[in-house]
Amino acid sequence: MLGVRVRALDAQRVKRELKESGALDTSKKARREGEFVVFPVLQEVEGFESIETEFDEFEGHKKFRDVLREKLTEEETALAKRAFDVIGDIAIIEVPQELEKHESTIAKALMGAHNNIRSVYKKSGDISGEERVRELKFLAGEDKTETIYKEHGMNLKLDVSTVYFSPRLSAERERILAQTKSGEVVVDLFAGIGPFAILLAKNRDIKVHAIDVNESAFEYLKENIRINKVADKVTPLLGDCREAAPKGEATRVIMNLPKSSSEFLDTAFDVIKEGVINYYAISREEDLYDSKIDFIEKIAKEKGRIIKIMNKKIVRPYAPYTYHIVIDIGVK
């Protein structure tokens, strides 16, 4: 089995990165080796030392596979994807087309193996539309789509069928928190149910304007502001950010609408006074940053702003040869 060996000091951070990039084999347990931790991975990961070694399997995953083996052939069991997203007590799985006839068996096996999962849904379409919502199909357990997800000390209430939310952006949210200083004025142009806005407000003495056009996301945003006791710091705004965002006040603008952020970059320059735009985008492997940076420079020039590219990095894989990336733009 393939593993990557990292210093124990870096283990928590690396684990999150491996998980979000989809490289971590979540069915197996990491192992401590003196000053190092070895993580099980599904493929070689650039920038890390790879080794061949053995890992123990997590009980839940072992049980899941064992139940599948009783019901499916060896080939089908191998095809069933054992990686899935858990949001609160809801699991969202992908079922390969060849296994569709067994989807309810797979979902029940998953519930049987993981006590924390009360409902299982299948991704039955891509994330689409302005509101970035995914079509789901109910497979097993309780047919309820509202849940509470806990992350970094926040409780986030949401309905997985009416809003966008990804647990895979957890490390990215932490990265933005690490950059943010008390005293900032943050405008989250595409706030959703508020994971960035609330995390920053809970941990810094700041003002946040959190905007979303999706009415359901906006209702959960308001509820999450209340649950997390940040009403004195976060102002929720419903509408198109082009109209709803306050102009010329922000020291940070968060633009997590990666598929069409380019259409809103001019708005981001109107919104920011001086500071950083966290600009997300989707890029092909052969041109991760260059054409995006050319575009950013073009819009900055049109807006008469001086910019400096401060960071650029892959957030997570998005599709084959395609990545969700972030570019941090310093603006004067």
Ligand X SMILES: C[S@@+](CC[C@H](N)C(=O)[O-])C[C@H]1O[C@@H](n2cnc3c(N)ncnc32)[C@H](O)[C@@H]1O
Q: Which parts of 237-296 interact with ligand X (CB under 6 A)? A: 240-241, 256-257
Q: How many residues appear in the chain? A: 332
Can you tell me the distance from the alpha carbon of 302 to that of 211, in angstroms, rounded to the nearest whole number?
Answer: 25
Binds ligand X by CB under 6 A, chosen from 55, 149, 190, 323: 190
Give the x-and-dash track for 52-91 against ligand X (CB under 6 A): ----------------------------------------
Give the x-and-dash track for 169-188 against ligand X (CB under 6 A): x-------------------
Task: Pick the closer one to ligand X by CB: 68 or 191.
Answer: 191
- The tokens describing 23, both together, are 């490289």
Binds ligand X by CB under 6 A, chosen from 57, 131, 174, 266: 131
Task: Pick the closer one to ligand X by CB: 24 or 169.
Answer: 169
Token pair 């997985």 in the structure block, residue: 160
How many residues line the site for ligand X (CB under 6 A)? 20
Residue 2's H or E segment, with its range, is strand 2-7
Phi, psi at 198, each rounded to 5°: -75, -40
Q: Tell the smallest beta-carbon distance from residue 278 to ligand X (Å).
A: 10
Q: Tell the smallest beta-carbon distance from residue 256 to ligand X (Å).
A: 4
If binding is defined by CB under 6 A, does position 199 make contact with ligand X? no
Task: Pick the closer one to ligand X by CB: 31 or 123.
Answer: 123
- The tokens describing 177, both together, are 């928190």
Strands across the sheet containing 307-319? 234-238, 207-212, 185-188, 250-255, 272-284, 322-331, 307-319
For residue 3, which of 57, 44, 34, 64 has the smallest C-alpha distance? 44
Return the SS3 of 91. strand
Interacting residues with ligand X (CB under 6 A) = 130-132, 164-165, 169, 190-192, 195-196, 211-214, 217, 240-241, 256-257
